[in-house]
Structure 1
Amino acid sequence: MFTAAQRATVIPPEPPTQPRLSLTAERATRAVLDGGWWPRSRDPVAELPGLILALNERYGPIRQLMLNSDSWDGRFRRLAVGTRVVRAGWFSTVDPAMLIATTERGDQIDLLVVPFDVPADTADIAMATAADPGNQLRAPAVLAASRTEPTAARG
């Protein structure tokens, strides 16, 4: 259940940061993921505005996000980003390694969420794999593979 404060539209107190994001060059019908995102923290108010602005620029206005309810240090129903308000849904059933964004047109964008505290080389491998239009792995498998891939294999 959400408190009155959580139901209110959240206005981020700081300007959005540039997201660490890797997206497919073009939407591939066979790809499982549309890209990968590596937030800097578990604070959704600090992390999501920059991501939303980047996704708006690439895919058009984002209407809604769905995130795992246990992976973030706070929840809210609505987030003000620029001149728009984006709805957020928090679900225990959404994989912690996923973020699902929906555009105003109804397009779904599936992003790998790389845990903020993983090493940079692991995050780089995971985001590159998630943004590969030929990738057939789901988000948890991408993370598992990126954690075990030797650094020398990146070339």
Structure 2
Amino acid sequence: MTKKSLIVSPEERARPLNIAGFSITVLAAGEQTGGYEIFHQVGPEGTGPGPHFHPWDESFFVLRGEVVCGVDDLETLVKPGALVHISGNTTHWYRFGESGGEILSMTSCEGASHMYEDFDREGSWENPNRDHLVQLAAKHGQVVVDSHD
């Protein structure tokens, strides 16, 4: 594959994908960049992925609102302007805080975009089937960790 420069205007963006109550827009997929991926994520209060890990590194920058996130045994509240980096194969999760939130995220390699597309295409977001989502995640190298809240 030959990498090329990429400019994506708001009018050219892919449609937001519905991922269990929050949205993820793929701004740049791995096949466009030659590796890494960039996403815009927006969600109402309380939405976000539960504990999981995957082989790719992931970083996110908080644009708006507050985000409660956990990395291994550390839980913290991050606010606009904060950057969070999670190394591959590290258990992590996040939830958008009061009044919802908005983040810009990036992964170190191709993979997440395909998983998000599968979630959006095959999920029933009014009543998501957790077992089905776990199977879809596993297909892409992501492991969902049971939480014992």
With structure 2 as the length reference, what TM-score do the two structures score?
0.36
Which protein is richer in strand relative to its size?
2
With structure 1 as the length reference, what TM-score do the two structures score?
0.35
